[in-house]
A and B are shown apart, each in its own frame.
Chain A
Amino acid sequence: MQKDFILITLADDDEDDRMFFTEAFDELKINTIVNTVNDGVALMNFLQAPETILPNIIFLDLNMPLKSGIECLKEIKSNTRFNDIVIAIYSTSSSEDDIENTFVLGANIYIKKPNNFGKLKEVLSEVVTLNWQYITSGLNKDNFLLRL
């Protein structure tokens, strides 16, 4: 069996959420290598460090101290070095305007934070599997929009 894997960076200031996500990733069929950062500033520092191997997907909490998810999204999208990274926003908000706005700003995925572990696993599995098809089948990432 080949060793496929997806590199994931998770930015969330809530320790419990970070734990839930990491555990959920561990249980997916596709292998994932996950690293976590605690806020937006840490995320940008991580991405800009020259020795960093850039992730395939960034999961970005909208509400973070120091630098919000939206600010990170804008910064990431304005740097061509990060063109290949898929951005998944997640939040407890489900306001239609918020959602459409993040897509317009360049997010690929919008996840309404599920309130139980089983559902979270399902959602993440869908994201990672679909992303895998984009990576392996040469689909156009600019058209990758997914709302869960």
Chain B
Amino acid sequence: MINSFITFTKNPKKDTVLKLFLKTDTQFLIKKILEEKLDVFKVKYNLINNNEILFLETIDTETYNRITSVLNEYGFEIIENQKNIIVQKIKECIIEMIFNDEAPAVKSSVYLADKLNHSYGYLSNIFSEVTYTSIENFIIIQKIEYVKKLIIHHDLTLTEIAFKLNYSSVAHLSSQFKNTTGITPSAFQRILKKRVQINNQNIN
């Protein structure tokens, strides 16, 4: 904590000089300013040690920008996490890889390392640290999500989907689906169809 002594000189009457010695508590000031500025936005948040703001609800981009500019005005700088930026790039790369019909001719580890100019070990360490899951697992999750989309919206058969996503066989696709979600692709399809039926009944 830094205590700064501010000397205030005031001159209420011509002949007397009043001098006030002030002691400030910077931590208190920081807290007060942050609270005052943040309360205006009517969002729920927690202050942690006066150097982290934890928002308890989603902040849209516009509000985020307004908050950063207000805080900047008071000398607060927002340190964005470098690691998050790399993780975001890895995710984008993976999604591009899966949704692209032309599968890359190399293994995904080589592809990512090449594309992002870092060693795969480095990428995979950061990825696990930030997302709590591995790159391999994330690729599977994304692929299975894509399979779900294809099942629901395109009425493709599993054979067609397996071919489209470069699975070696339908059995491989089916078992990966079951391992990831705990249910079979056909049960998934049946459940989603029933949900739609129920929703339609409620509307009519």
Report A-chain residues with C-beta under 8 Å of the C-beta of B194: 104
Q: Which residue, of B52, B129, B131, has the highest number of chain A Cβ atoms within 10 A?
A: B131
Return 18 A-B CB contacts under 8 Å, by A number.
A2-B81, A2-B130, A5-B54, A53-B44, A100-B187, A100-B191, A103-B183, A104-B191, A129-B132, A137-B138, A137-B142, A139-B141, A143-B149, A143-B152, A145-B188, A146-B182, A147-B181, A148-B182
Report B-chain residues with C-beta under 8 Å of the C-beta of A136: 131
State whether B183 touches A145 (Cβ < 8 A). yes
Question: Closest residue of chain A to B178, judged by CB?
Answer: A147
- Beta-carbon contacts of A1-40 to B below 8 Å, as 1s and 0s? 1110101000000000000000000000110000000000
Chain A nearest Cβ from B99, distance in angstroms? 13
Q: How many interface residues does B have (CB within 8 Å)?
A: 32
Q: Which residue, of B84, B91, B138, B191, has the highest number of chain A Cβ atoms within 10 A?
A: B191
Q: CA of A5 to CA of B48 in the docked complex: distance in angstroms?
A: 14
Contacts A2-B130, A143-B148 supplied; 20 other A-B pairs, CB < 8 Å: A1-B129, A2-B81, A2-B84, A7-B56, A30-B132, A53-B56, A104-B194, A132-B133, A133-B131, A137-B138, A139-B145, A140-B148, A143-B152, A143-B192, A145-B182, A145-B191, A146-B182, A147-B181, A147-B182, A147-B183
Q: How many interface residues does A have (CB within 8 Å)?
A: 27
A106: interface (CB < 8 Å)? yes
Of residues 116 through 168 on chain B, the ones whose CB sits less than 8 Å from some CB of chain A are 129-133, 138, 141-142, 145, 148-149, 152
Chain A nearest Cβ from B95, distance in angstroms? 8
State whether B152 touches A133 (Cβ < 8 A). no
Report B-chain residues with C-beta under 8 Å of the C-beta of A110: 182
B1: interface (CB < 8 Å)? no
Q: CA of A1 to CA of B52 in the docked complex: distance in angstroms?
A: 11
A130: interface (CB < 8 Å)? yes
- Beta-carbon contacts of B76-100 to A below 8 Å, as 1s and 0s? 0000010010000001000000000
Report B-chain residues with C-beta under 8 Å of the C-beta of A148: 182
State whether B183 touches A53 (Cβ < 8 A). no
Report A-chain residues with C-beta under 8 Å of the C-beta of B145: 139-140, 143
Give the A-binding residues of B (Cβ under 8 A): 44, 48, 52, 54, 56-57, 81, 84, 91, 129-133, 138, 141-142, 145, 148-149, 152, 181-183, 187-188, 190-192, 194-195, 198
Chain B nearest Cβ from A132, distance in angstroms? 6
Number of interchain pairs (Cβ within 8 Å):
62
- Beta-carbon contacts of A90-104 to B below 8 Å, as 1s and 0s? 000000000010011
Report A-chain residues with C-beta under 8 Å of the C-beta of B48: 3
Chain B nearest Cβ from A35, distance in angstroms? 13
Report B-chain residues with C-beta under 8 Å of the C-beta of A7: 56
Report A-chain residues with C-beta under 8 Å of the C-beta of B188: 145
Of residues 113 through 148 on chain A, the ones whose CB sits less than 8 Å from some CB of chain B are 129-130, 132-133, 136-137, 139-140, 143, 145-148
Q: CA of A3 to CA of B130 in the docked complex: distance in angstroms?
A: 10
Q: CA of A129 to CA of B138 in the docked complex: distance in angstroms?
A: 11
